[in-house]
């Protein structure tokens, strides 16, 4: 089975899940923090509706490349999580470091200057992100880490979009 997303050419959700489980086990033993960033393109449905699906695919490819570029270390993993949502696993990264990478990703997307006239917040494509950091233990799980990052993403969207919201549970 494929572990690369056919459109964006970065790892897919299957690979994300496998890698998170593996890194979780490793971090459980080491006692070091692991962070996850969940990113969502703001108002992507409006983008697709306005520019068409081919332009939407091109946008997804450019966003994926910019996100992957920010996940520089060989142990980092940027993946297409689903639709217009992306995820980054940051092993041995504390909350401060993960938030900094999330903000770098967000700024890299702004730098692309991809026109988005149907966005309610900007003339260009923007990204909202949720960031979560944990030290794996008996009282938490990889699913809990992702759920907390998702809560941060929801909060970023609810408070204006084009921002990162972090949750540190380490």
Catalytic annotation on 84? yes
Residue 79's SS3 state is strand
Q: How far apart are CA 104 and CA 25, in angstroms?
A: 28
∠ CA 80-83-85, rounded to 5°: 55
Nearest-5° Cα angle at 169, 164 to 102: 25
CA distance 39 to 28: 25
Q: Which of 84, 103, 104, 151 is catalytic?
A: 84
- Determine the Cα–Cα distance for residues 152 and 71; give it in Å rounded to an integer: 19
H helix runs in the chain, sequence order = 13-30, 44-51, 53-70, 95-112, 142-158
Report which DSSP code applies to 120: S
Closest by Cα among 158, 125, 148 to 42: 125
Residues annotated catalytic, as ranges? 84
């Amino acid at each position: 089975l494929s572990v690369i997303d056919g459109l964006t050419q970065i790892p897919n959700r299957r690979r994300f899940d496998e890698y998170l489980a593996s890194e979780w086990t490793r971090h459980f033993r080491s006692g070091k923090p692991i962070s996850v960033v969940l990113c969502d393109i703001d108002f992507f449905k409006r983008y697709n509706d306005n520019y068409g699906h081919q332009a939407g695919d091109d946008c997804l490819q450019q966003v994926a490349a910019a996100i992957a570029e920010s996940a520089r270390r060989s142990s980092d993993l940027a993946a297409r999580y689903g639709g217009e949502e992306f995820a980054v696993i940051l092993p041995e990264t504390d909350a401060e470091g993960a938030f900094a990478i999330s903000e770098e990703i967000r700024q890299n997307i702004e730098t692309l200057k991809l026109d988005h006239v149907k966005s309610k917040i900007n003339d260009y494509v923007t990204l909202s992100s949720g960031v979560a950091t944990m030290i794996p233990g008996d009282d938490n799980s990889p699913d809990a880490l992702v759920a907390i990052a998702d809560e941060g993403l929801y909060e970023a969207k609810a408070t204006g979009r084009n921002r990162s919201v972090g949750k540190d549970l380490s």
